Amino acid sequence: MSRTPSRLPPPPDNEALRAAPSRLDTVEHAAATPDVELPWAELGLKKDEYERVVEILGRRPTGAELAMYSVMWSEHCSYKSSKVHLRQFGEKAPESDALLVGIGENAGVVDVGQGYAVTFKVESHNHPSYVEPYQGAATGVGGIVRDIIAMGARPVAVVDPLRFGAADHPDTKRVLPGVVAGIGGYGNCLGLPNIGGEVVFDSCYQGNPLVNAGAIGVMRHEDIHLAKASGAGNKVILYGARTGGDGIGGASILASETFDDAKPSKRPAVQVGDPFQEKLLIECTLEAFAEKLVVGIQDLGAAGLSCATSELASNGSGGMRVTLDDVPLRDSTLSPEEILMSESQERMCAVVEPEKVDRFLEICDKWDVIATVIGEVTDGDRLEIYWHGGKIVDVDPRTVAHDGPVYERPYARPSWQDELQADDANKLPRPETSAELKDQVLKLVGSPNQASKQWITQQYDHFVQGNTVLAQPEDSGMIRIDEASGLGVAIATDGNGRYAKLDPYAGAQLALAEAYRNVATTGAKPLAVSDCLNFGSPEDPAVMWQFAEAVRGLADGCQQLGTPVTGGNVSLYNQTGEAAIHPTPVVAVLGVIDDVARRTPVAFREEGQLVYLLGDTREEFGGSAWSQVVHDHLGGLPPQVDLERERLLGEILISASRDGMIDAAHDLSDGGLVQAVVESALLGGKGVRLVVPDGLDAFTFLFSESAGRAIVAVPRSEEVRFTDMCGARGLPATRIGVVDGDTVEVQGEFALTLTELREAHEGTIPALLA
Question: Site residues (CB under 8 A) for another protein?
Answer: 181, 184-185, 188-191, 274-277, 279-280, 367-368, 457-469, 480, 483, 596-597, 770
For residues 554 and 548, what is the distance between their CA atoms, to the nearest angstrom? Answer: 10
Secondary structure (DSSP) of 464-511: TTS-EEE-TTSSSEEEE--TTT--EEEEEEE--HHHHHH-HHHHHHHH
Q: How far is the CB of 125 from another protein (least distance, A)?
A: 19
Kind and range of the H or E element at 284? helix 275-290
Q: H or E element: which one contains 580?
A: strand 579-580
Give which of 620, 623, 615, 608 is closest to 718, Cα–Cα: 608
Q: Across the strands, what pairs with 569? A: 532
Shortest Cβ distance from residue 456 to another protein (Å)? 10
Least Å distance between CB 277 and another protein?
A: 8
Phi (first) and psi of residue 490, to 5 degrees: -125, 150
CB closer to another protein, 183 vs 746: 183
- Report d(CA 425, CA 7) in Å as an integer: 68
Q: How far is the CB of 354 from another protein (least distance, A)?
A: 28
Sequence letter at residue 749: E
Reported for 31-34, long-range contacts at CB under 8 A and 24+ positions apart, including other chains, are: 31/59, 33/60, 34/59, 34/60
Question: Nearest CA to 182 among 367, 349, 345, 348?
Answer: 345
Taking the CA atoms of 510, 513, 517 and 519 in sequence, report the sign of the dihedral they define.
positive
Q: How far is the CB of 276 from another protein (least distance, A)?
A: 3
Quote the CA–CA distance of 692 and 149 in Å, as a whole number: 51
Nearer to another protein, 14 or 454 (CB): 454
CB of 176 to another protein, least distance (A): 12
Residue number, 114 or 465, with CB nearest to another protein? 465
Task: Return the closest-CA partner of residue 212 out of 275, 268, 298, 144.
Answer: 144
Q: Which of 470, 511, 459, 413 is nearest to 200 (CA)?
A: 511
Closer to another protein by CB, 86 or 280: give it.
280
Q: How far is the CB of 474 from another protein (least distance, A)?
A: 12
Residues 6+ apart with CB under 8 A from 492: 196, 475, 476, 477, 514, 515, 516, 518, 519, 588, 589, 591
Closer residue to another protein in complex, CB, 189/630: 189
Cα–Cα distance for residue pair 113/111, rounded to 1 Å: 6
Helix (H, G, I), strand (E, B) or coil at 653: helix
Annotated catalytic residue, options 29, 76, 462, 582 = 76
Q: How far apart are CB 540 and another protein at their closest, in Å?
A: 39
Based on CB atoms, which residue is closest to another protein, 102 or 185?
A: 185
Count each helix (H run) and each strand (E run) in the chain, helices first. 27, 28
The answer to whether 425 and 635 have CB atoms below 8 angstroms apart is yes
- E strand or H helix at 677, and its extent? helix 672-684
Q: Count Cβ atoms below 10 Å from residue 317 Cβ, excluding itself.
A: 13
Would you say 115 or 766 has its CB closer to another protein?
A: 766
Beta partners for residue 567, in sequence order: 530
In whole angstroms, the minimum distance from the beta carbon of 590 to another protein comes to: 20
Give whichever of 421 and 465 is closer to another protein, judged by the CB atom: 465
Concatenate the DSSP letters of all residues of 8-60 into one string.
SPPPPS-HHHHHSS-SS--HHHHHH-TT----TTTTT--HHHHHHHHHHHTSP
* Pick from 72, 214, 234, 70: nearest CA to 147: 214
For the question of residue 76 being annotated catalytic, the response is: yes
Task: Kindly name the residue from 29, 85, 125, 225 that is annotated as catalytic.
Answer: 125
Instruction: Give the shortest CB-138-to-another protein separation in angstroms.
Output: 13
Residue 141 or 307: which CB sits closer to another protein?
A: 141
**Residue 335 vs 457, nearer CB to another protein:** 457
Distance of CA 36 to the CA centre of its chain: 41
Closest CB 180 distance from another protein, rounded Å:
8
**What is the rounded distance in angstroms from the CA atom of residue 689 to the CA atom of residue 694?**
16
Sign of CA dihedral 313, 45, 249, 255: negative
Cβ atoms of 531 and 108 closer than 8 Å: no
Instruction: Please tell me the distance from the alpha carbon of residue 302 to that of residue 385, in angstroms, as a whole number.
Output: 19
φ, ψ at 220 (rounded to 5°): -85, 155
Contacts of residue 699, defined as CB under 8 A and 6 or more positions apart, other chains included, come to 430, 431, 437
Cβ burial of 166 (10 Å; 0-12, 13-18, 19+) is: middle
Q: Please tell me the distance from the alpha carbon of residue 516 to that of residue 599, in angstroms, as a whole number.
A: 15
Query: Which residue, 460 or 750, is less far from another protein as judged by CB?
Result: 460
Minimum CB distance to another protein smaller for 86 or for 284: 284
Instruction: Tell me how far, at minimum, the Cβ of 491 lies from another protein, in Å.
Output: 17
Output the smallest distance, CB 78 to another protein, in A. 35
Task: For another protein, give the closer residue by CB, 461 or 745.
Answer: 461
**Mind telling me the catalytic residues?**
76, 125
